[in-house]
Amino acid sequence: MWFVVIGVVMLVMNVTGFGPVGAWTWKDHWWALLAPFGAAVLWWLWADTTGWTQRKAMEKVDAKRQSRRDKQLDALGLHGRKKR
């Protein structure tokens, strides 16, 4: 996601003529203006093929489940209880 944001910011800077990126021409620096989008595609390919995306989603669901469980145990008064 950050690569896409960086790419959009660079494109806006180029179109508006702001900063050093604003002085770049498409003829000379097309690769630099499109590089963040290529990096985003490579990142998404890597994240999906290695399972990183799915693993992060599962960790988020597990954290929510544990939070719900802890909240219910606190409500029942069983959370801080010692085992015998």
| pTM (two decimals) | 0.65
Q: What is the C-alpha separation between 77 and 70, in angstroms, rounded? A: 10
With a pLDDT cut of 70, the percent of the chain lying above it is 94
Q: What is the domain partition of the chain in residue ranges? A: 1-50, 51-84
Q: What is the C-alpha separation between 75 and 20, in angstroms, rounded? A: 58
Decide if pLDDT at 59 tops 60.
yes
**Exposed / middle / buried, residue 78 (Cβ in 10 Å: 0-12, 13-18, 19+):** exposed
What confidence tens digit (pLDDT) does each residue in 7-39 have?
999 999 999 999 999 999 989 999 999 999 999
Instruction: List helix spans (H) across the chain.
Output: 2-16, 19-22, 26-50, 52-76
Output the pLDDT for position 84. 55
Q: What is the DSSP code (8-state) at residue 24?
A: -
